[in-house]
Chains A and B, each alone.
Chain A
Amino acid sequence: GDSVTQTEGLVTLTEGLPVMLNCTYQTAYSTFLFWYVQHLNEAPKLLLKSSTDNKRTEHQGFHATLHKSSSSFHLQKSSAQLSDSALYYCALSEGYAQGLTFGLGTRVSVFP
């Protein structure tokens, strides 16, 4: 079956530094990848989505590129802000109206 691996459980960093969250996946089908961000006591919110190989997608200062050759969809930001402290989930779907398979999530804590 489908699976998503996020290697970091917790990332701590100082405000202003770059951040990269790893996401790799396994699937035998068409690939739709997502990043969701969840702040404390809030709903997970869509941050980025992609189904196009080697195309960079950006939103709110974050960016990610789907690389089907390496089955990766890493999330990056050049300068972390305190408000970026949250739980980040990478997710995979066989189609936009199909169930999502989530990674275990990466908690990001940004300190002043």
Chain B
Amino acid sequence: NAGVIQTPRHKVTGKGQEATLWCEPISGHSAVFWYRQTIVQGLEFLTYFRNQAPIDDSGMPKERFSAQMPNQSHSTLKIQSTQPQDSAVYLCASSRDNNNQAPLFGEGTRLSVL
């Protein structure tokens, strides 16, 4: 059974460019989460979806960041006008929607903004 798949693994953008990160959750998992990982802040919650519906986006920066889940097989995190401080590893996780499953993570996308 394939795990959470994130593409690309590495992305380099210039300041001001747009970056789109992709996540394919594990088949059958109804909850999808996005996190950002930096050395200073550790793992920060960004947003999550349940059955494709946005549930909580309290961790998303108010500007330039958006996330969507157009179907059950993928979610995207889009960052407009990227800035150097957006450089981080962006992690996607998914889980079943019941009380016996913890989120399982993908390997992440390392975003470098030059």
A contacts, CB < 8 Å to B: 34, 36, 41-46, 49, 51, 89, 91, 93, 95-105
Contacts and interface: CB of A to CB of B under 8 A. Distances in A.
B106 interface: yes
Residue from B4, B31, B42 having most chain A Cβ neighbours under 10 A = B42
B106 A105 contact: no
Contact of B42 (A95, A97, A98, A104): A104
Interface stretch (B13-21, B72-80, B89-97): B89-97
B52 interface: no
A43 B3 contact: yes
Contacts, number: 63
Contacts of A42: 107
Contacts of A95: 99
Nearest to A91: B43
Interface in B27-58: 30-31, 33, 35, 41-45, 48, 50, 56
Contacts of B85: none
A43 B91 contact: yes
B98 A96 contact: yes
A100 B107 contact: no
Contacts of B71: none
A89 B42 contact: yes
B99 A44 contact: no
A96 B91 contact: no
A97 B45 contact: no
Contacts of B4: 43
B100 A99 contact: no
A96 B107 contact: no
B101 interface: yes
B43 A96 contact: no
A47 to B, nearest CB: 10
Nearest to A95: B99
